[in-house]
Amino acid sequence: MIKITVWNEFKHEKEIDAIHRVYPEGIHSCIADFLEKEQDFEVRTATFDMPEHGLTEEVLQDTDVLIIWSHALQKEFSDAVAERVKRHVLSGMGLIALHSAHYSKIMRELMGTTMTLKWKHGEQENLWCIMPTHPIAAGIPEKVFLPQEEMYGEYFDIPRPDDVIFVGWFPGGQVFRSGCTFTRGRGKLFYFQPGHEEYPIYYIPEIQQIIKNAVRFCAPMTGERKYPENQEVRE
């Protein structure tokens, strides 16, 4: 079983009618719904308003892969909770950061760069798979057309990824490294750009398949998760 926690700040969906209509139960519920259909996944959700944002030590201990979506409340997110999540990633917990979660405290802490990019509302996107041999690309066609998506463009100030699996192309001419993997400590990470809150992106089967593949890729190897420490060798 892979234990998954889907975390969402869950603000826009409650406050803006048009977004509520797209995700009446919140982005986290939409993602949890399609993940729950997998036999080997055990899914829980957590949101910003819960005590400690729902990401307590107990929850993270019991999480193999954490999925995060955030946007408007990144500054308000607790430093202590961000630090706790980072510690679990370094110990081996998988992390999938979706869309504007690139700029979350958690991601900026783990990546160490500014994580800035270009953006523009109201575009379309061709999501090109440029690494079809990667496990996250399994079953994904070479191009997925997204009829509505926010443009994210280069330069995207990330550290050099382990792999770039997807590149987004936008009609305005911008391109973007839309699907990238990283390793931090013992943890495997995947950043995935599609998922602006105004558009029904997480209902698209190929997008769901990419997230399911990413969960299996980012899940830790079997065995106890342990925060790395210096070790003296005595022989």
Look up residue 61 and give its two tokens.
């201990």
The one segment of 14-22, 88-96, 145-153, 162-170 that binds Zn ion by CB under 5 A: 145-153
Task: Give min distance, CB of 155 to Zn ion, in A.
Answer: 18
- The residue length of the chain stands at 235
Task: Give min distance, CB of 99 to Zn ion, in A.
Answer: 6
Find the binder of Zn ion among 196, 202, 214, 218 (CB under 5 A): 196
Q: Going along the chain, which residue ranges are E strands?
A: 2-8, 41-47, 65-69, 94-98, 118-129, 143-153, 163-169, 175-184, 187-192
The answer to the question of residue 150 lying near Zn ion (CB under 5 A) is yes
Between 84 and 99, whose beta carbon lies closer to Zn ion? 99
How many Å apart are CA 51 and CA 196, to the nearest integer? 26
How are beta strands 94-98 and 65-69 bridged, if at all?
parallel
Between 26 and 94, whose beta carbon lies closer to Zn ion? 26
Between 88 and 102, whose beta carbon lies closer to Zn ion? 102
The site that binds Zn ion (CB under 5 A) totals a number of residues, namely 3
The one segment of 45-53, 55-63, 94-102, 109-117 that binds Zn ion by CB under 5 A: 94-102
The one segment of 4-12, 43-51, 147-155, 167-175 that binds Zn ion by CB under 5 A: 147-155
How many Å apart are CA 223 and CA 229, to the nearest integer? 17
**Beta-carbon count within 10 A of 197 CB:** 24
Angle separating helix axes 205-218 and 27-36, nearest 10 degrees: 70
Between 91 and 100, whose beta carbon lies closer to Zn ion? 100
How many Å apart are CA 212 and CA 207, to the nearest integer? 9
The answer to the question of residue 11 lying near Zn ion (CB under 5 A) is no
> Rg of the chain's alpha carbons, rounded to an integer?
17
**Count of CA atoms in the C-beta half-sphere (13 A) of 12:** 18
- Amino acid at residue number 118: K
Between 111 and 201, whose beta carbon lies closer to Zn ion? 201
Range 95-124, binding Zn ion (CB under 5 A): 100
Between 37 and 120, whose beta carbon lies closer to Zn ion? 120
The answer to the question of residue 64 lying near Zn ion (CB under 5 A) is no
Beta-ladder partners of 164: 180
Between 134 and 196, whose beta carbon lies closer to Zn ion? 196
| Binding site residues, Zn ion, CB under 5 A | 100, 150, 196
